[in-house]
Structure formats: C-alpha cells, structure tokens
Amino acid sequence: MKRYSFLELAKNAFSAHQNWGRQWRAPEPKAEYDVVIVGAGGHGLATAYYLAKEHGIRNIAVLEKGWLGGGNTGRNTTIVRSNYLWEESAALYNHAIGLWQNLSQELNYNVMYSARGVMMLAHTVHDVQVAQRHIHANRLAGVQNEWLTPEQAKEYCPPLNISKNIRYPVMGAALQRVGGTARHDGVAWGYARGADDLGVDIIQNCAVTGIRRSADGAVEGVETAKGFIKAKKVGVVAAGHTSVVMDMAGVRLPLESFPLQALVSEPVKPAFPCVVMSNTIHAYISQSDKGELVIGAGTDQFVSYAQAGGIHITNHTIDAICELFPHFRRMRMLRNWGGIVDTTPDRSPILSKTPVQGLYVNCGWGTGGFKATPGSGHVFAHTIAKDEPHPINAPFTIERFRTGRLIDEAAAAAVAH
Amino acid sequence: MLLIYCPYCDVERAETEFHCGGEAHIARPSDPSQTSEEEWVEFLYMRSNTKGVAAERWRHIHGCGRFFNAVRDTVSDKFLKFYKAGETMPDLEKISKEAGK
Amino acid sequence: MSQPFRTEKGGRIDRNEQLTFTFDGEQMQGHKGDTLASALLANGVHLVGRSFKYHRPRGIISSGSEEPNALVGIYRNGDQTPNLRATQVELYQGLEAISQNRFPSLGFDIGAINDLMSPLFPAGFYYKTFMWPKSFWDRVYEPVIRAAAGLGKPPKKPDHDFYGNLYAHCDVLVAGSGPSGLAAALAAAETGAKVILCDEQAEFGGSLLSENSASVDGKEPADWVAVTLARLGAMDNVTLLPRTTAFGYFAHNYVALAERITDHIANPDPKLPRERLWQVRAKEVVIAAGAIERPLVFPENDRPGILLADAGRTYLNRYGVKVGHKVLVATASDSAWQAAFDMADHGVEVAAIVDLRETPPKNLMAIAEARGIRVEAGCVVTGTLGRKRVKAALLGRLMTSGQVASGGQVECDALLMSGGWTPTVSLYSQSRGKVVWDGDKGAFVPGKSVQHERSTGASKGLYGLQATLEDGYAAGENAAKAATGKSAKIAYSTATGGEASNGGTLGALPHDRNASRVKAFVDYQNDVTAKDVKLAVREGMHSIEHIKRYTTTGMATDQGRLSNMNALKIASGALDRPLTDVGLTTFRQPFTPTTFGLFAGVSRGDFFDPVRKTPSHDWVVENGGVFEDVGQWKRTWYFPKNGEDMHAAVARECKIARESVGLFDASTLGKIEVVGPDAAEFLERMYTNPWKKLATGRCRYGLLLNDAGFITDDGVIGRLAEGRFHVTTTTGGAPSVFARMEDYLQTEWPDLDVWITSTTEQYAVAAVQGPKAREVIAPFIEGIDLSAENLPHMSVREGTFCGVPCRLFRISFTGELGFEINVSRRHGKMMWETLAKEIEKHSGTAYGTETMHVLRAEKGYIIVGQDTDGTVTPQDAGMTWAIGKKKLDFVGKRGLERPDLKADGRPQFVGLLTTDPKVKLEEGAQVTVAENPATGTSAEGHVTSSYYSPALDRTIALAMVKNGQALEGKTLYVPMPEGSIPVEVTGTVFYDKEGARINV
C-alpha cells in the first residue's frame, strides 16, 4: 500500500495524479474463507480490519449487497461521543473514543475526527437530574463529561438561544469535549483500504441470499448473488437488514428497523463550532467542514425499509433547531435522506455469539452506531476470532433479553413524574 | 405522512391521527406463569421485523381510539389491507402475490 | 449608458417601471419583471461569484433554479439570506445583493491562490493529508479548511419574518406550468376535478415564455399562456400557485410545496408570511417538470460569459437582455441553433455555431446560411480565454481518428453551449419510482409509476411543442379520470413550430490540450473536473455513489442537476462499463433548497409545543410563583417571598405545611375513570396490587409495571362504586398509562366489560396538606362527614365544594393529614382562590413541586422517574408490599420471574445521611464502598433525590444502592471532585416513622 502524506500528494501532483493506486481491489469471491463478514459498513469493515491486523486471520471476505459504506455509515450525522450512563455502555463507547483519537494515523487515512465537543442540553429539572447523573457516573468511569451553566453553554456555542422566554429554556448542558464528529465516508474508506491491504476481499454488489448450516447446526457458509461461499465463521453486521439476514439462519432477534432521517443545509461560512444535542426537544446539529449544517431528525413510528420518512418528522426537528438557533430560520435545507436503524428494546447494541455455532451478530445500534465504529469492530473481531466476547462486549448479548439484564440507556433517561 | 384507513370510523386520515403499535398478532400468553423463559422473551421482545408484507397494529388515538390491524409492505410503505382487531390474521403470502410482490 | 445589454424592445419586463438595486454596493438599474440575473446581465455583469474550492471567477450560467454559480446573499431589513440563486431572485426596488465566497472583493479574491495550487488539491486530497502532527487536525487544518469552505455568510440575527402552513387536498396536482403542465391542468380542470397547479417561477408558462419561433392556435405562445391562465383562473375548482416549488414527494401521494410570498415585494405587508408550506394530499399527481439543458464539458468551460444556450435565449426573449455582443454558440443539439438565430435577429453578432456533429440538420444549416452565420460542424470548443469574462474560444476539429486538430481561435464575449437536454426526473424519483435508461434519447426517463403519479412532456423525455401539448392534455384527462372517475373531452390547442430538438452529448468533449494541465468542469459549484472523476475511478471508486462522495460531484446546491449525467458518462468511460451499470445517484428532496422557517412554520415560542396550564396558573403569576416545565405542563415550582431564593422559599413552604397547612395544585396528575362490571378485575390485571376486596369509598396506592417487570408508573386509586374507580397516574405518565390500558383492554382482554376514559383535563385538583387541612376545607365541603372515623386516611367520598360536585380524597403525599379535592375543571380557579384565601386564616401557604418533593422525600415516598428509572422492580424499590401475593397474574408478574430480576446484588432503595448534616449530596452522584475509588471502579449505586429537610434541619437523600437494604447503618462514600463525602445508609423514612401525623 502506498502511504498517503502531503509529500506523496505533492509528488503525485507532478505526475498529474495519474499514478495513484486503487484504495481497494474489486476481487471476485474465492470459494472459501475463514471468516465472512456480511455487510461492508463501517462496523463490518472495521471488524475485518482488526481480524486481519490483530488476530492474524487474513482469509476474510466482506460481502456487501450495495456499495461499501452505503448504508447507515454514509447516512448518519457523524457524531462521536461516549458519555453514556451505564458502565457497560460507557466502556464500549469510550473504547471507541480511544481508537478514534489515533484512527487517521492508524489507517493512514484522514478520517477527520474532530474533537470539537458534544453538548447535550437540559431543558427541565428532570433533564438536569439525568445529565448530572451521567456526569457523576462518567467521572467515576473515567469518561469525560462536564456540566455547563446556560451562560457557559452559550460561551461554548454562541448561536445557542439561552433566553428564558423560549418554550423550553436551556437550564444547562453536559459537555463532552472529547466528543465531536468524524468524516463518515472517510471512516468506511479508510477501513476498506486498510483491510484490503491486509488481504481482505471486499466484495460489493454481492447480496447474501442464504446462510447454510450443517447437519449439526453450525454455519457452513453463505449463499450469495455470486454463488455459495464456504466459511468457517460468519459475522453479520447488516444494520437495518440484520433481521432479514439472521432469519436466513433461523435466528430471531429483538430488533425493529425504523426510518431515521437526517438533513443538511446549504453550505455557509463557519457558523457553528460544536455539536449540540437535545433529547427533550429532539434535535441534534453540527456543521460539517464543508459548511453544511448537519441535522439529525427522529425516527418514524413504524417499521420500514424504505429509507425515507415523513415530512412531519422533519418539520418537528427543524422546529426545534429554529427554537434553539433562531437565526438559522433563513437557512435552507439542501438535502434530506433516510436510513434504516435497527433498534433493540433497551436501545443498546447486540455484539454477540448466537445460538448458531460459527455465527456472530453485531446489530441494534439504533440511531447511534457511527460513534462506536472502531470500538465495535475491534471487540467484534475479538469475539469472532476467539469465539468468545471481549470483556467490553461481554454484556451485550442476545441472552440479556431473556435474563432481564438489560443495558437500558433509554429507560435511564425516562420521563415520568 | 402515511394515509391510513380506520375500519371503525370508515375514514382515511393522516398518520398523525394514529399511533403504530408494532407487529400484530403477538398474543400475550393467557397464563404467563406457565410460559418458559424462551416463550416469554419471544412475547416480550422478539419481532419478525419483516422486510416485505407484514401485519401491524395501529390505534386511532385522535379518533375513535380503537386498535385495528393493517397489512403493509415495509419496502414501499403501501397498505394492502386494513382489518379490525380480533379478526384472524390474513394470508400474507396471498396478499403479497396479489400485490405483485 | 444604463443597461447596455438591454434590447431595444421585446421581452416580458415592464420597461416603464425602472428599479434600482445594488450589487456589492454598486448601484444599477433593472426593470420590473427582471430577475437579479437578468438585470445584472443587462448591465453587462457576468462575474457574480467565486467557486467553492478554487475560487475561480464564475458567472451566471442558467436562467432557472438549476443555477450552480450565481449564488448571492440578499440583505433586507436586517435579515440576511445566503446562497440565493440570482436566477430566481426577482428584482424589486432597493434590492441589496452581495457576492459570496470571496475576500476581500469579488474582483480580487485572495482565495484564488487555490486555483494555482490546484495540482495539490485533486478530488479527495484531504483524505490523504493533514494527518501530521496528530493534534493539528482540529486545531490547525480544520479551522483553515472550514473558513475557506462554505459559500455565503450565515445569518447573524434571528429572522424577523414568519412562515405559514396549509394543508390541502386535491384530485390532481400539476407540478410545472410549461406547455404540458398547462394542458394537463386545463384538461383535468374541465372534468370538474379539483386541481392545484404550481410552478416555481413567478410566471406560469415555462418554456413558452421565451419561445417566439412557434405559435399555439395561431397565437404567440405567451399569449396562449395568458388565455389558458384566464380560463383556469375563472374556474372555482382550480388553485393557481406561482412561485411555488413542489419540493418533496412523500409516501401516499403526499406532496410538499414551498410558496414564496413576499421575497419579491419591495415593501411587503408585514401581516404576510414570507413563505408558506403547502402539504398536499393529491389523489393524482402530474409531473410536468420539464427538462434542463446540459453544459458541455470542455477545458475552461466555467468562465463568466459562458451560459447554457437556452438560458441565453431566455434572457433575450423573456427578459430583453443580450448576454453579449459577440456570441459563440457551441452545441451538440438542435435547440442551441435557435438561440443563435434569435441572437442574430436581435442584432447580436454570432461569432459561429460550433456543432459537435459532423452533419447538423440541413434545415438549420440553411437558416444559418441565410443569416450569414459561420457554421463549424464536427467541431468542439477546446478551451477559452479571459479571466473575469470569456474573450475567446479555442476550436478543435474532430478527426476520424478520434483525435482533435486545432481549429483556431474565435473571439467572443459570450459563449452559449448545449449538450442536449436532461429530463427533470427528481420528483418522479422522490416518489420512489425507478428511472430507466432510454438509449434513443440518451437520457434517464421515468419508469413504472409507483405512486399515483404520471410524468408528462419534457420531464419524461418527450420534446416538441405539439407533442408535449398533446401529452399534457392526455395526462390531465387520465389523472382526473383516475382521481374522480369523471372525464370531459376538450378541444386541444395545436402548435406549429417548436419542433423537437435532436442531438446531444454526454461526458467530456475531446480536446488537443494537455489533459493534466486543463480543467474541464463537470460540477461547477463544487469545482469537480473530468480529471477528478477519472481519478476517483482510478482509485477504486467504482460505484457512482462513491464517485459522487469522493469527488463531491452532484453534491452542490444544485444537487447535480447540471452535472450528474456528464459525470456518469465520464465515469462510465473510465470504468469501461455501460453507463447503466454505473448507476444513477438518488434524487433527494427537497427539489431545490428550502427555507428552514418554512418547515418550522408557526411553531415557535409558545406554539413550539402546547402549553398546558393548571387552574391556579393566573393566581400563581399574580403571586410571584416560579414555574417549571414538566412535559407540556407549567407547574408551580416554588413561591418566593420578599426576594427569597429557591432554598429559602422551599424551607419556608415545608415548615408551614408541616406546622399548619399547605395548598398545592395537583391538577396535572393523570386521571383515568375505570368503569364497568369488570373494572376491579381489569385493575387487578394491570396493577401489582389487589383491587377486588377494596371497599367502596376506600383508596389504595397502585403500582404499575410493564410486562418486563419494571416500575413504570404509580398513583392512588379510589373505588367510588362497585364498578367505578378513579385512577390517578403520574403527570408525565398519564398518556402512556392510558394508552397501555387501552392496549391491554382492547387487544388482550376484549372479554372484560370495562370502559376507561381519560379525565385528566376534566378535573382540577387541589391538595390541602397539613395539620390544619381539615379545618381549611371544612367550611366548603358539604355532604361528606370529614371526621377521622368516617373519613380515615385513604378514603374517597363524593360531595360538594362550594356547592359544586366534588370527589374528595383523603390522601397524603406529605405524611400530614391531607385531602385532595377534585372538582370540574371549570370550577378549578374558584376552588383554588377559595382555598388560597382560606389558608391565609391559618397562616398557611401555597407550595410548589419542589416543596412537594422535599415533603415526600422526608417520608420516603418514591417519585417514579426520579427515584426509579425504568430498570427498577418493586423489590428494588422496597415495595414488595404493593404486590398482591395471591394474584395469579398482573402486568409484569411473569417479567419479575426472570433470573436477573430476582438476582442478588440489585440496587435497592435506601436513605442516605451525610455525616455532616449541612452537606447536601448532588442528585445523580455515585455511591461507592471505597472512600477514594480508583477511576473505573463500579459504583454501588447513585443518589436519586437529595434535599435539605427543614423538618429535620439537616440534609437527607434517597438512593439506589446494591443490596442497600442489608447495609443499613453502614458507611459508604459519595466521591466528588472536591473530595469524598461519607454517608450512612438508612431506611427511607426520615420523618414521623410511625406515621402518626397522617392518621389524625
């Protein structure tokens, strides 16, 4: 692999960039692999990369029904943070943060991880209590998170409206300075290039149509658009389509796939320095390096694979954005799109072995999987290679729904009283 | 913003009048104490999450308040059938075929 | 001379009305009917902006909403709107426009150095560099990149304008008002169908407004438009919406339109919204979005003065503006020839018509010859000269070998180009239809209809005036028939002239220049060149989506409407695969950029979310109470007196309530009336507690779980009669509890004869709490014996309060003697004011939620959602007493049997007392065994509630702590940044442990 650097860029400028090699190959599938990963999103590619790099397994294929990075990886609002409440979650996401901080250098691909800070707003007394609980729990767990008064929040994010006269005034915010954004495509491509360099075959336009199991129930391989591919182990990392793929192996999961929308404005000069999220009034926003305001909307209420949601969801999101940032009212929406998010009952992912020998699943990231990409791939690779979970993902089983040992991030922020 | 038919009110109304209740025909076991762990987790959490034609529950919250069921293609979001709660689950394969799926 | 490029006559502008405007501070004149673009061109201004990456000088290229270059900022009354297309901005007196993405000025832009450095900045260069040193990305590189990127300046102040919202239904929605759209609207309307016709432009008519070489029914096309509009306008069943863009096509034929109402008016009525969102549920949609012309991809095809041929023609015929005095026309299709002819007819010198085709149509050649226009067939433009405006073009002759031979240089001050036409399939694509490749037309056209829509005319690749008219009529008739079942035959207008344009090309044109040195732009705004697309392919980006994302082609504010097809062709060539294999990127809504304010509409301030007020609201305002938001409710938080802070006010309120009496508005609590022979059985199944033996007139605390076994809600339930219960819920839980009850009742237990009704809004509730509570309410209550014997704690009776019916609960959330009086909501204010006055006689006080929280915490009562969080079982909360032991089933019972819910080591509800009684713990603080736990230590639990207790004159706290109930008396720690706080684990009841005060 030719290393990327400014020098290399300058050198290539003299040859009119005619000599850049492929970032990844377009191989035909071999008859057999040690590991087949289903789904070439960020998580799947990262899994393959770490399998090859850290576990010495080089005979790997990543199968993708479309184009790599084309699912939720290329459709999310690129937020990175780790200030989750439960120690299990915080450990998982913080593991990812650790990897994010070095990822551009590790992959020799600029993923543009930008620790510009993620600020989560509190609008009610209950919000404040929940935020404080997170901050205290995070401090003990060694996860960065701090409380800001409304004035401090405004100082950190000048466009924020902290007037007392809005419907839900800002009562403060939890700030994770190490949180921020990263370039989603860069992450997928960086891992793809890195994995490819280690010998991983990334096979695009190759939908998996079946999972073949032997008489004793273990995985034998996958049926695909390009024929049967034998595999000792199969890791399914298919996001919104996980239920569909796992159904091929007869494994039922506690998942529902909902449409999730996001949108960007037209690009403007720097207007927004950080990431702001508000769970109470349902909005999250940042500004991309290109200048677009990147805004996340909510999910529709019904299962759908259409990658499109209703306009009332968008309306509601922009209501909230304009309430918090009233001068963005004259900005204009450039593009709106949808993804399919696979959601578990406790809003935490499943990163686990399955009842089927040799079959592993990484799913259920709901609306927040991007931030975990490196960590998820890293521990999932461990799980596949060792046939046992890494300590960090050990709690994220399918089994927890049976035993009741949930990791319920949503419940912890539940509103009642 | 889907357009939904309420079989009780006999009207088509915008989605914002309705609440989706998820997958239909998941009955709560009549005697939960007799269910195994597997049966209970199946009832509580396991969902088909069908890509294609599936039956789901809706409630006309800002109308008659009644629950009813609908068959919808989760790829196109087209509704293929509406029916009242308590009616038996229609033959989804047949509906699929009729819809040219 | 003012407006040196204005024609002597002609066009649709109002020459009698002259308007003054400024561009970058320079004053200029235009006319009513001009766009900013046409007015600038009339003044000879082509340079209007700088490109995104290389800061190259850029001019107006189109005349419509597809404009990628001419983006300006408009300033008005302190409001500032970036990135508006000059081609869409209608001129008004005093308009103030500013060019963008340049510093210090449009003419001299420092950023233009990027153009010289461009060899270093190929597609995706940023993925390959800026990685060293590591800390420099977000500190150094990114800020520089961010400052350089972006187009216009963001608005700096809150928007003064407001926005409207309308919902509409119609039989047929027609999007686009060119010949096919107008015909469709007319045909549909004549059947009686309800029709909405919208068009993004200020005037209806589309291409007909700039067509002067054809006629319809013997009339000038624009006159036919006027006649047709008069007909449509006279019909009650037709709504005409100019300046209205159909920008989003959603599921189930739901189409969103953006209507621009005041932006074109110099002094708009302040009562008018700036824009209005129309959300239209159309039975049928006719997409008549037309087609747009493609640029030619040749080196230096981006200089100011280079325009699409049809735009040149539109400026000439519609706006009376000549784009130059000496115009070169470069084309691969017929339509541009007409532009050349029109130019010549207006006295513009046509330097040459350069046609890619070896043998252009003979009839066109003949007309050119008649006008003395030089024609170069089999010839392409291979470059241009001129920095801020094109001044000459290089020609290249196509050889049979595929090579290009130099064809000399032609001077010109404008260059019109046409690569043929691309049908506008955006709306069709948004309707989730799949476009198909039409090889004959060299275009993607709509495939099968997925929703109730049909495309007509140029938007489906059908050209020629007569054909599009006919197709439009048919589309309108068929749409109306499909929507209403009705049809009507109307006389079709017939057109002469306006023949279909043949020819066209895709991708980059061949040239004889040094390929590595020249830039042939594919995507103007994002500065993507043919080289970039090829580089992406070379680097392994084989999907068009990868190419798009890597090069950013098609991701500019025109969403690739000018660039997509050329990029696709170049990629297809580089990949050596058929174009259809490479795929087309998805068209997303909105069709053109759409104002945020439009989506937010009236939803701002109090309209952002409904405000729910309790009956005491006005009284609280008058008495200086402070509110907190709880869900949509405004609840009184506390009542500061004489400048008290919250702490002092709450301490006073608590003290008075315990010593005398307090008044609290409990109206926000959810209330559900459960009625019917099976009411008790129903509650038996829903709640953990037993209900069947509860006597009429008595109350019980009810605990509600979900079927997973976790606490979700609680509240007191009173039995009013054998088959009638008054259920209360938490404030936030009211809607969800009711919904869940309905769910179980309707779908799991339809056999139960029970009716449930939400009565939250029906009752106003006043809680009177404290030793004097009975005395306070006694004067007003009739029909109820208030004595402790007749009305013990946890009782309910019906009677009257000041003569109006009431439900009187003797219950307490404070540990004091307490009553909650429910009266009809309309009497709530009367009740509150009566009681507020009465408590004064007893030196009582009104109190808010904070005092309520303190009083209940002193008694160890949980608040669901604060002390519990959705992961807590009744056992965890120390409430096994609330579980009916003999019950076979209730919601959550089976869930509680799951292994982890019965496991040892679960957090349990306990009290915590700090060693130092003055130290108040922070809610949410973690509890540990170790005094100074190492980072990463698992917490034993967390503080759920923490207050200063006036009754105990010390702080108290409630917490969830692992195995906490067994740790009573033990010392644990609450580690804080300032040091660890030792705490003693206690029971949860801090005050009046025997409960004597409640039973008086």
Q: Which residues, in sequence order, are CB contacts of C689 under 8 Å at separation 6+?
A: C700, C701, C702, C703, C882, C883, C884
Out of C593, C871, C939, the one facing A408 most closely (by C-beta) is: C871
> What number of CA atoms fall less than 13 Å from residue B99's CA on the CB side?
22
Query: Do C412 and C430 belong together in one domain?
Result: no
Look at residue C748 and tell me if it is in a domain. Answer: no
pLDDT at B43: 97
* SS3 (DSSP) at C396: strand
pLDDT in tens, A105-129: 999 999 999 999 999 999 999 999 9
First-last CA distance in chain B:
23
Q: With an 8 Å Cβ cutoff, are B33 and C898 in contact? A: no
In a domain, C728, yes or no: no
Q: Are residues C405 and C442 in the same domain?
A: no
Q: Kindly state whether A257 is in contact with chain B, defined as any CB-CB distance less than 8 angstroms.
A: yes
pLDDT in tens, C437-468: 999 999 999 999 999 999 999 999 999 999 99
Inter-chain CB proximity B3 and C252 less than 8 Å: yes
Number of domains in chain C: 5
Chains touching chain C at 3 or more Cβ pairs under 8 angstroms? A, B
Q: Which residues of A touch C127 (CB under 8 A)?
A: 4, 109-110, 183, 186, 189-190
A253 touches chain B (CB under 8 A): yes
Of chain C, the percentage scoring pLDDT greater than 70 comes to: 100
Chain B contacts to C (CB-CB under 8 A): 1-3, 14, 19, 21, 27-29, 31-33, 35, 37, 40, 43-44, 57, 59, 61, 65-67, 76-78, 85-86
Sequence-separated (6 or more) residues with CB below 8 Å from residue A164? none
Q: Domain check: are C142 and C2 in the same one?
A: yes
Q: Which residues of C touch B77 (CB under 8 A)?
A: 251-252
C403 and C437 assigned to the same domain: no
Domain with residue C528: its CATH number is: 1.10.10.1100
CA distance linking residue B30 with residue A314, whole number of Å: 41
Q: Is residue C435 included in any domain, yes or no? A: yes
Ranges of H-type helices in A251-349? 311-324
Q: What are phi and psi of C148, to 5 degrees?
A: -75, -30
Tell me how close the Cα of B73 comes to any Cα of chain C, in angstroms: 12
Which whole number is the average pLDDT over B45-58? 97
Q: Kindly list the residues from chain B whose CB atom is less than 8 angstroms away from the CB atom of residue A402.
A: 37-38, 40-41
B89-B94-B98 Cα angle (round to 5)? 125
Examine the domain organization and report whether C37 and C116 are in the same domain: yes
Among C596, C628, C933, whose Cβ lies nearest the Cβ of A332? C596
Mean pLDDT of C584-610: 92
Distances (CA, A) of C293 to C202, C321, C331, C590: 20, 19, 11, 20
Buried b (16+ CB within 10 A) or exposed e, B48-77: bbbbebbbbbbbbbeeebbbbbbbbbbbbb
Region C943-960: mean pLDDT is 98
In a domain, C862, yes or no: no
In C230-288, DSSP assigns E strands to 238-241, 244-250, 254-260, 275-287
How far is the alpha carbon of A368 from chain C, nearest alpha carbon, in Å?
Answer: 21
Nearest CA in chain C to B18: C739
- What was the pLDDT predicted at C110? 86
DSSP A151-178: HHHHHHSTT----TTSSS---EEEEETT
Of A247, A301, A401, the CB nearest to B19: A301
| Among the partner residues A244, A257, A345, nearest to B45 by beta-carbon distance | A345
Residue B42 near residue C707 (C-beta atoms within 8 A): no
Determine the residue among B1, B16, B49 to mutate to test chain A binding: the one whose Cβ has the most chain A Cβ atoms within 10 Å. B49
Tokens at C987, concatenated: 């029971």
Whole-number percent of chain A with pLDDT over 90: 94
DSSP secondary-structure letter at C119? Answer: G
Contact B15 A312 (CB under 8 A): yes
Residue of A nearest to C906 (CA): A405
On the question of pLDDT at C392 being above 60, the answer is yes
Q: Does residue C131 sit in the same domain as residue C2? A: yes
Is residue A332 a contact partner of residue A265, using CB atoms and an 8 Å limit?
yes
Q: Which long-range contacts (CB under 8 A, 24 or more apart) does A27-31 make?
A: A27/A201, A27/A202, A27/A203, A28/A203, A28/A226, A29/A61, A29/A63, A29/A201, A29/A203, A29/A206, A29/A224, A29/A226, A29/A227, A29/A229, A30/A59, A30/A61, A30/A201, A30/A229, A31/A229, A31/A230
Given an 8 Å threshold on Cβ–Cβ distance, is B19 in contact with C707?
no
Q: What is the DSSP letter of C559?
A: T
Q: Average pLDDT, whole number, for chain B? A: 96
pLDDT of residue B3: 98
Q: List the beta bridge partners of residue C416.
A: C307, C329
Average pLDDT over residues C691-704: 97
CA C843/CA B13 separation, integer angstroms: 55
CA gap A112, C147 in Å, rounded: 16
- For the segment C628-655, the average pLDDT, to the nearest whole number, is 97
Strand pairing class (C349-355; C326-331):
parallel
Bond prior to C590 in cis (omega within 30° of 0): yes
Residue A416 has pLDDT above 50, yes or no: no
Model confidence at A413, pLDDT cuts 50, 70, 90, reads: low
Residue C942, pLDDT score: 97
Q: What is the mean pLDDT of chain C?
A: 96
Closest-approach residue (CA) in chain C for B77: C251
Average pLDDT over residues C861-874: 95
- B1 closest CB neighbour out of C250, C893, C899: C250
Do C281 and B35 make contact, defined as CB atoms within 8 angstroms? no
Of C552, C684, C689, C612, nearest to C149 by C-alpha is C552
Chain A residues in contact with B15 (beta carbon < 8 A): 301, 310, 312
Please report all neighbours of B, defined by 3+ CB atom pairs within 8 A. A, C
Asked if C254 and B43 come within 8 Å (Cβ–Cβ), the reply is no
The secondary structure of C313-368 as a DSSP string is: HHHHHTT-B-S-SEEEEEESBTHHHHHHHHHHHTT-EEEEEEESSSS--HHHHHHH
Which chain A positions have a beta carbon within 8 Å of C587's beta carbon?
A: none
Which CATH number covers residue C224? 3.50.50.60
Pairing of strands A227-236, A219-224: antiparallel
Q: Does residue C246 sit in the same domain as residue C221? A: yes
pLDDT above 60 (res C530): yes
Has residue C348 been placed in a domain?
yes
Inform me whether the pLDDT recorded for A417 exceeds 70.
Answer: no
Element (H, E) at C618: helix C617-622
Which A residues 164-223 touch C at CB under 8 Å?
165-168, 180, 183, 185-186, 189-190, 204
Kindly give, in sequence order, each residue whose CB lies less than 8 Å from that of residue C441, ignoring residues fewer than 6 positions away: C423, C461
Q: Establish if C942 touches chain A: CB-CB under 8 angstroms.
A: yes
What does the pLDDT average to over C962-968?
A: 96
Measured distance CA(C911)–CA(C925) in Å, rounded: 14
The answer to whether residue C516 scores a pLDDT higher than 90 is no
Last residue of a domain, one of C368, C392, C419: C419
Q: Does residue C780 belong to any structural domain of this protein?
A: no
Same domain as C189, residue C74: no
Q: What is the mean pLDDT of residues C956-965?
A: 97
| Alpha-carbon span C415 to C569, nearest angstrom | 23
Tens of pLDDT, residue by residue over C306-348, are: 999 999 999 999 999 999 999 999 999 999 999 999 999 999 9
pLDDT score for B99 = 85
Query: Of the given ranges (A253-257, C155-159, C983-987), which has the lowest mean pLDDT?
Result: C155-159
Q: State the best of B25, B28, B30 to mutate against chain C, taking most chain C CBs within 10 Å.
A: B28
| CB-count exposure of residue C165 (10 Å: 0-12, 13-18, 19+) | middle
User: What tokens appear for C205 in the block?
Assistant: 């008519």
A408 to C599: CB separation less than 8 angstroms, yes or no: no
CA-based end-to-end distance of chain A? 59
Q: Are strands C594-595 and C379-385 parallel, antiparallel or unpaired?
A: unpaired
Which residues of A, range 245-284, sit inside 8 Å of C by Cβ? 265-271, 281
What's the Cα-to-Cα distance from A169 to each of A133, A349, C339, rounded to whole Å? 20, 32, 58
What pLDDT is stored for residue A415 in this prediction? 45
Interval A201-219 mean pLDDT = 97
For chains A and C, CB pairs below 8 A equal 353
Domain extents for chain B?
3-27+44-98
How far is Cα of residue A323 from the mean position of the Cα atoms in its chain? Answer: 27
Q: How many CB atoms lie within 10 A of CB C706?
A: 17
The architecture of the domain spanning B3-27+44-98 is 2-Layer Sandwich (3.30)
How many angstroms separate the CA atoms of B36 and C171, rounded? Answer: 54
The parent domain of residue C191 ranges over 163-291+423-488
C97 is a domain residue: yes
- Give the residues across from C219 on adjacent strands: C216
| Average confidence (pLDDT) over C28-47 | 97
Instruction: Grade residue B101 by pLDDT with cuts at 50, 70 and 90.
Output: low
Structure confidence by residue, pLDDT tens digits, C74-85: 999 889 999 999
Note whether C400 and C439 are same-domain residues. no
Res A414 pLDDT > 80: no
Nearest to B35 among C450, C748, C894 (CB): C894
**Which C residues 775-834 touch A at CB under 8 Å?**
none
Nearest by CB: C594 against A115, A333, A405: A333
C561: closest CA among C151, C56, C67?
A: C67
> In this structure, what are the phi and psi dihedrals at residue C529, rounded to the nearest 5 degrees?
-105, 170
CATH number at residue C143: 3.10.20.440
Subunit contact B76:C898, Cβ cutoff 8 A: no
CB atoms within 10 A of CB C357: 18
The yes-or-no verdict on residue C488 having pLDDT over 80 is yes
Q: Identify the H or E element spanning B70.
A: strand B67-73
Helix (H, G, I), strand (E, B) or coil at C192: coil
In chain B, which residues have their Cβ closer than 8 Å to the Cβ of C748? 27-28
The 10s digit of each residue's pLDDT in A263-320 is 999 999 999 999 999 988 888 999 999 999 999 988 999 999 998 999 999 999 999 9
Token reading at C449: 């209809």
The pLDDT of residue C116 is 86
What residues of C are in contact with residue A88 (Cβ under 8 Å)?
A: none
Mutation choice for C interface testing from A17, A94, A348 by most C CBs within 10 A = A17
Q: Say whether both C76 and C127 belong to one domain.
A: yes
Q: Does residue C436 form part of some domain? A: yes
Nearest one of C421, C175, C388 to C291, comparing CA atoms:
C421
Query: In B, which residues are within 8 Å of C743 by CB distance?
Result: 21, 59, 67
pLDDT (tens digit per residue) in A15-38? 899 999 999 999 999 999 999 999
Question: pLDDT tens digits, residue range C535-546?
Answer: 999 999 999 999
Preferred mutation among C165, C250, C252 to probe B, highest tally of B CBs within 10 A: C252
Residues C373, C251, single domain; the answer is no
Comparing CB atoms, the residue among B16, B44, B76 nearest residue A306 is: B76
User: Is residue B13's pLDDT more than 70?
Assistant: yes
Which residue of chain B is at minimal alpha-carbon distance from C168? B14
**Nearest by CB to A305, which of B20, B46, B75?**
B75
Chain B environment of C450 (Cβ under 8 Å): 76
Query: Is residue C10 located within the same domain as residue C120?
Result: yes
Burial (CB count within 10 angstroms: exposed 0-12, middle 13-18, buried 19+), residue C28: buried
ipTM of the prediction: 0.97
Q: Which of C193, C71, C169, C53 is closest to C553 using CA atoms?
A: C53
